[in-house]
Amino acid sequence: MATRSRTLAVYGLLFVLGLTSVVAPPKTQAAGTPSVDDPVVVAVGDIACAPSDPEFNGGVGAPGHCRMTTTSDLATQIAPASVFMLGDAQYNSGSLADFNGSYARSWGRLKPITRPAIGNHEYGTPGGGGYFTYFGDAATPQQPGCVKDCNGWYSFGVGEWHVVVLNSECAKISGGTGCAVGSPQQQWLAADLAAHPAKCTVVLQHRPRWSSNSFAYADVAPLLDTMHRGGVDLLLAGHSHSYERFAPQTPSGERDDVNGIREIVVGTGGSFHSGFATIMPNSLVRESQVFGVLKLTLRPASYDWAFVAAPETPFTDSGTGTCH
């Protein structure tokens, strides 16, 4: 009590002297206590079946298939500040008709807060036209009005975090520039990270760099090198219809708990399941038969993750990471 009284006296004196316009003492917060200012977001990919899918069932789906309404219910209950959509939002070809007939009926209610990344199935429609038309400028804010063959990479802020969205469909990028060193996307990524030296940075893309099956994608390696040099903390991906969390790693796949990038694969949005083969080094947690979403609490210098599973596929994984 004596300490608080002295603090109030000091602030009162400063106010009288005209040295501050703030008379209240600074807020204190117990270590580990969530702040109301820490945004909560949801991340997931590989989501909606087409209305023509035999398991569509009016959008409700069937065991192991087409559970996009169930996962969107989970996300809605969390009430996130933003949804990080990790690609393959709409199967099988990403047509606008299928987006409107399926994705819009489930995850569409979260569309105003959705930040999407493009996936391989979106390119089942030439130039990703269905995806870019459905999400509009949210999918390509650097090219307003673009509805086909758009870049698909951009960045934004959530709380004190910098968020980067990449186009990991390297072979589909307009102009055939891919993801190589010197490509427009790689150069943009390097410049964007340099211009936003935030304490915490997360990258969203569809294809994972590491995955304990055939879904690992080496073509994005130059982008991982750029991320590592730019201090990226967290990489979120889909593509593999499973959940897998890796320890922080260097771009070459060596564990580095101090400066490495933690990748979490969250391809559990409801479409269907895929399994694992040879387990990759530094893969810490895996589950192939699960639907659900990843809940992230983004703090100024750290983050909490918690996988929220559908009741039909019970599974949990949670923890805390510290930013570089």
Q: Is residue 146 scored above 90 in pLDDT? A: yes
Q: Which fold has domain 37-322?
A: Purple Acid Phosphatase; chain A, domain 2 (3.60.21)
Q: Is residue 116 scored above 80 in pLDDT? A: yes
User: What's the whole-number mean pLDDT along residues 83-103?
Assistant: 98
Q: Provide the H-helix boundaries in 128-244.
A: 129-135, 184-195, 221-229
Which residues partner with 243 through β-bridges? 266, 287
pLDDT of 176 reads 72
User: What's the whole-number mean pLDDT along residues 136-146?
Assistant: 97
pLDDT of 36 reads 57
Residues 6+ apart with CB under 8 A from 184: 151, 175, 177
pLDDT of 57 reads 97
Could you read off the pLDDT of 148-190 as tens digits, one per residue?
Answer: 999 999 999 999 999 999 999 999 997 777 899 999 999 999 9
Which 3-state string (H, E, C) describes 227-243?
A: HHHCCCCEEEECCCCCE
Please answer whether residues 186 and 180 qualify as being in contact, where contact means their C-beta atoms are separated by less than 8 angstroms: yes
Q: Helices (H) and strands (E) in the chain — how many of each? A: 7, 13
Q: Is residue 9 scored above 60 in pLDDT? A: no
Burial of 296 (0-12, 13-18, 19+ CB in 10 A): buried
Q: How far apart are CA 160 and CA 15, in angstroms?
A: 30
pLDDT category at 25 given cuts 50, 70, 90 is: very low
Q: Is residue 14 scored above 70 in pLDDT? A: no
User: What's the whole-number mean pLDDT along residues 278-297?
Assistant: 97
Kindly report the CA angle at 223 between 83 and 133, in degrees rounded to 5?
45
pLDDT of 222 reads 97
Q: Is residue 276 scored above 50 in pLDDT? A: yes
Q: Is residue 271 scored above 70 in pLDDT? A: yes
pTM for this structure? Answer: 0.89
Average pLDDT, the chain: 90
Q: What percent of the chain has pLDDT over 90?
A: 87
**Domain spans of the chain, in order of start:** 1-30, 37-322
Please answer whether residues 65 and 98 qualify as being in contact, where contact means their C-beta atoms are separated by less than 8 angstroms: no
pLDDT of 15 reads 32
Q: How far apart are CA 54 and CA 120, in angstroms?
A: 22
Please answer whether residues 324 and 231 qualify as being in contact, where contact means their C-beta atoms are separated by less than 8 angstroms: yes
Range with the largest mean pLDDT of 3-12, 36-45, 121-130:
121-130
pLDDT of 11 reads 35
DSSP letter assigned to residue 50: P
pLDDT category at 144 given cuts 50, 70, 90 is: very high
Find how far residue 221's CA is from the centre of its chain. Answer: 18
Residue 100 sits at φ, ψ, to 5 deg, of -70, -30
Which residues partner with 204 through β-bridges? 165, 236
User: What's the whole-number mean pLDDT along residues 86-107?
Assistant: 98
User: What's the whole-number mean pLDDT along residues 296-307?
Assistant: 98
Higher pLDDT: 29 or 37? It is 37
Kindly report the CA angle at 56 between 63 and 121, in degrees rounded to 5?
100
Please answer whether residues 142 and 150 qualify as being in contact, where contact means their C-beta atoms are separated by less than 8 angstroms: no
Could you read off the pLDDT of 44-75 as tens digits, one per residue?
Answer: 999 999 999 999 999 999 999 999 999 999 99
**Nearest residue to 296 via CA among 74, 67, 84:** 84
Q: What percent of the chain has pLDDT over 70?
A: 89
